[in-house]
Chains A and B, each alone.
Chain A
Amino acid sequence: MSRPVAFVLAAAAVLACCGTLYAAKPGPAPQGDPARGQAVYTRWCTACHGRGPGHPGTQSLQVKYGGKLPPALEDRTDLAPPVTVQFVRHGFALMPPFRKTEISDAELRDLAAYLARNRK
């Protein structure tokens, strides 16, 4: 039996407002939504940066910080939104940058808000 499905895998509503956020426009940057940002994190980041073994990003940060900072990004309390934006759009080491068709500017703002939610 065939199961016709049409999973629209990108969130159309979020994508519709892309392209405006980090442009050099005057005025305060709009706030991201940490709850939506968590979904972005789960979809795009956990495969490398999830908690526990088998996550190369986490393993690498464990070696880098030697336990001084938590190795999983979700547990960090020092990630200001521009830092997240920089890494996502420029990549680092083996991590390539993410394009706007993957993580839109609006989704990136949410992601940055999620990773900054416990910022001290």
Chain B
Amino acid sequence: MVLPPDVSQAEFDRAIAAFRNAVGPDWVFTSDDDVALYRDAYSPMWSEPEERVASAAVAPADVGEVQAAVRIANDTRVPLYPISTGRNLGYGGSAPALSGSVVLDLKRLDRVLDIDEANASVLVEPGVSYFDLYRALRDTGAKLWLDCPDPGWGSPIGNALDRGGGYTRAAFRNHFDAHCGMEVVLPSGGLLRTGMGAMPGAKTWQQYKAGFGPWVDGLFSQSNFGIVTKMGFWMMPEPEACLIGRIYADKYDDLHALVRILTRLENSGVVNGMPGFGSPLLQRRVPADPQNNDPNGATQIDQALHDAFYTGDDAAKALIAERVKSTGRSCWSALVKFYGPERMVRLQWEIAKEQFGEIEGVRFGDPEFYGFPLSDADLEKIHKPTFGIPSLSVFNFGIRTDLRPEPMVGHQAFSPVIPRTGAAIFEANKVFARIFTEEGLPVPPFNLPGCVWERALMLICIFPTTHDVETNRKYRKALRRLIAESATRGWGEYRTPVAYYDTVMSTYSFGDHALLRFHETVKDALDPNGIVSPGRYGIWPQRNRGGPR
């Protein structure tokens, strides 16, 4: 068992006894087997001394018990690491940023407190998963969709606090932006409600976000300034229809126009569902294509073609043109989604086609049209999160296939935000391929962005984590270089695994790290004992400043 760096065994034992008293002995986990359940199953530091591990876990049942745990932590200086559903795999799982922290597992706060169909909003506790909320919506018959990330195993609160994203309309797929009102247990143990919730008896907590005065909600995302015990979310009313259109372009350089036109359509509200890009030629599916029986990586790579996408010179373009001809597959595809009344989505698709018509030789697939409820046949073939349905189908990206007899054991994500241009996509891919080559690692297939966020693009590069220390070290070194070299070009990570928190935070360095110093000032003011999630997102309290020694 690993103790927090500056806590004695006696103080730790006193904390555990007090936790048992506060939440009941069944809900304090201290045995090695039980604590191991909180390891990051995808840790890129698996079994190395640097792997971040908890010392124990405490699972309160309600807000009062959360406050009691926080008071005990202040009294004994034992740091807590709150999780909602703890499925942040790829970005740290349920393991703390500082080894020895006690995980505060909020899974037992599992009530859907309100479903307001007319206002299209819900109020939930942290232990409510996407699957749970989906069931609750169905049980009440409310015609509301929830926007979920690819895996439905997480929670609206945990995901939003890590600023995760989904697949439907922009207002909902940015999960933090879609929230309306929070309740937070502060590091002092006090209770705060934000937005209209600050007014006792407010009638509009889930209707008006800002309340009065500074809007502080953002401070509780990607941070360690408090423990969120309730959050309201705006839901998407079930649309009358959804139309999915596909656009195909054959020339390598067409990517520039595809991105430009799609961006204009989205910014002007014509395309209102999450769009994306793919490459039929490379057999790269568009994020939001169904993840059924043809996972990426299930087909043999055409190495010359794969290399040509990175090189992009005249010879490469000629090879690509030849392959387009010989295979009949387009170089690029774009996917656009429209949600709304049937007449409207059909018209929106017509307008989109007109605008994409600027690209010479562009072709359009037959649109997929869906009304609701979906038929069983549709349910089998669709990408469920596009329709507000939680799923775990995404995991077939790493399962056994005939070409990969051993399944993956985990992954980590490098997720830089880049400008919304074709040029940025090409440039970023080239930089990443060079770094991988220099680091002696296989170059991943050409990466095409999803458009989770409005205005920007984000490349999500998935790299394996393994149980082999040397392989993990190699990937970590490469990832650190990717982060650093991206920063020199002005591309920053939106989120990162725990192993890279400090590295990424150090790239947001304008004004001699003014932003980090601001965070530290807030941290010291709110949490003088440094008991909430020390080190999360590179924010270390005074007592651990600079990271664990």
Contacts and interface: CB of A to CB of B under 8 A. Distances in A.
B17 to A, nearest CB: 17
A92 to B, nearest CB: 8
Given A54-B292, A60-B400, A101-B105, A8 B110 contact: yes
Contact of A94 (B26, B132, B390, B410): B410
A63 B402 contact: yes
Contacts of A102: 107
B140 A3 contact: yes
Nearest to A96: B41
B380 A54 contact: yes
B109 to A, nearest CB: 10
Interface string A55-68: 11101100110000
A65 B93 CA distance: 30
Contact of B114 (A5, A10, A56, A100): A5
A6 B125 CA distance: 11
A8 B61 CA distance: 11
A3 B115 contact: yes
B407 A59 contact: no
B470 interface: no
A56 B105 contact: no
A54 B476 CA distance: 32
Interface in B50-66: 57, 59
A19 B228 CA distance: 27
B113 A6 contact: yes
Contacts of A89: 33, 37
A82 interface: no
What's the interface size class on A, roughly?
35 or more
A19 B30 CA distance: 12
Interface string B129-150: 0011000100110100000000
A78 B379 CA distance: 31
B33 A93 contact: no
A93 B407 contact: yes
Given A5-B140, A54-B292, A94-B407, A10 B113 contact: no
Contacts of A91: 41
B471 to A, nearest CB: 16
Contacts of A26: none
A9 B127 contact: yes
A7 B138 CA distance: 12
Contact residues of B: prevailing secondary structure: loop
B334 to A, nearest CB: 24
B118 interface: yes
A53 B293 contact: yes
Contact of B29 (A4, A47, A100): A100
Given A47-B152, A56-B396, A7 B139 contact: yes
Nearest to A102: B107
A30 interface: no
Interface in A1-35: 1-10, 15, 18-19
A19 B118 CA distance: 43
Given A47-B152, A63-B399, A6 B408 contact: no
A98 B37 contact: yes
A45 to B, nearest CB: 10
Given A9-B132, A96-B89, A100-B34, A47 B142 contact: no
B107 A48 contact: no
B264 to A, nearest CB: 34
B387 to A, nearest CB: 13
Interface residues of B, number: 64
B399 A101 contact: no
A83 B34 CA distance: 18
A5 B153 CA distance: 22
Contact of A48 (B26, B34, B38, B395): B395
Interface string B75-91: 00000000000110100
A60 B407 contact: yes
Nearest to B141: A3
Interface string B409-430: 1110000000000000000000
A99 B105 contact: yes
A101 B293 contact: no
A16 to B, nearest CB: 8
Contact of A96 (B87, B117, B396): B87
B530 to A, nearest CB: 26
A110 B136 CA distance: 24
B398 interface: yes
Contacts of B94: 99
B112 interface: yes
Contact of B128 (A9, A64, A93): A9
A63 B398 CA distance: 13
- Determine which residue in B41, B113, B290, B408 has the highest number of CB atoms from chain A within 10 A of its CB, and name it: B41
A47 B41 contact: no
B114 A97 contact: no
A100 to B, nearest CB: 7
B408 A94 contact: yes
27 contacts: A2-B118, A3-B115, A4-B113, A5-B140, A6-B112, A7-B111, A9-B127, A9-B136, A10-B127, A54-B290, A54-B292, A54-B380, A56-B395, A56-B399, A59-B399, A60-B400, A64-B400, A89-B37, A91-B41, A93-B399, A94-B395, A94-B398, A94-B407, A94-B408, A96-B42, A96-B93, A101-B27
Given A1-B116, A102-B107, 5 more contacts: A2-B118, A6-B111, A54-B393, A56-B396, A99-B37
Interface of A: 1-10, 15, 18-19, 43, 47-48, 52-57, 59-60, 63-64, 89, 91, 93-94, 96-102
